[in-house]
Amino acid sequence: MKIFYSEAHRKHFPAFEVFDGGKRVPYLENPDRMDQILKAIHKTTWAEINEPNDFGLDPILAVHDKEYINFLTSCWSEWLDSDPEIASTPEASVFLPATFALRRKTRPTKSLHGRAGYYMMDLSACIVAGTYQAALASANCALTAAEFISHSNSAASSFALCRPPGHHAGKDYAGGYCFINNASVAANWLSSKGKVVILDIDYHAGNGTQDIFYERNDVLTISIHGDPDYEYPHYIGFADETGAGIGLGFHKNFPLPSGTNDEKYLSTIDEALNMIKKFAPNYLVLSTGMDTFDGDPLGKFKVTHNGFAEIGTRIASLGLPTAVIMEGGYANQALGDNIVTLLEQLK
């Protein structure tokens, strides 16, 4: 299996994030996640790790608002330039907004913090000096994985070992550790070559992906996740959100209860796969989070190691060229073995 990975992800390593209630905690979406996955991959005999190609900005700007990308490009240096003394303070380690826009009747302002509150959804989308470079490399991993399967005449698969992840990033906002929506950029690039489905199996709803494709009918988007009535991102991912305009019926959310186990999860996977078969896509983009694992610090599901193997087996039964895009998963000691177990079924 071709695996696309860049060491540039290490440029993004905030010193902390802010949890509910204002508590500062060590950043959970950290480089150790990739190290644990790489360790497990190196134990296999079927993986070939490659650097991604550079696709430039055009595929990213086809999905994301240009002014939002400009904000990601410049916000760190702009922040330091705005107050030369801030560079010598502990607060200079992470850039975060203090206020957030009420999106119904708002617009980005000229001030940096005004734009930050408009373009950033929460306090886990922490920006540091290397965040933008890491996000670009992550998107290129996803695009290279998509390019690889586009050249295949069979049910080939590839794995984009993306960090930072992407599925919480919308057209013009960052959130949930995500800055550029890697899976959406890859799926949009593939959509010029045929019909595409994005199946999101991360524990959290793929709100950014839903936002990007909600009014399109050439990309079917499906998300299986913790019910937003109790789980992040809270305001999107409900069952009655099914698309709009020509996209009506081309989005499906499966919000599941806390404690969902292998049996319930696999029955939901089967429902999603039936939808995919009816759509008859040419390509599958699999947003793959391992935070459904029983014991993940950010999840409340109880999917097991064996459950991941069966998820992979059932998805492989579609026989589709598949680009697997890494999303979440924060039980680091189990993360590598879990993702390799799933990939083994798709190789």
Give me the amino acid identity at 18: V
239: which 2 tokens? Answer: 């069952």
221: which 2 tokens? Answer: 């988007």
Q: Is 273 exposed, middle or buried (0-12, 13-18, 19+ CB in 10 A)?
A: middle
Give me the amino acid identity at 114: G
d(CA 174, CA 172): 7
Q: Which of 9, 168, 204, 225 is catalytic?
A: 168
**Catalytic annotation present for 168:** yes
Element (H, E) at 157: strand 157-160
Helix intervals (H) in the chain? 31-42, 58-61, 66-82, 112-119, 131-150, 182-190, 207-213, 262-279, 305-316, 332-346
d(CA 229, CA 333): 29
d(CA 114, CA 97): 8
Contact (CB, 8 A) for 219 and 196: yes
Active site residues: 168
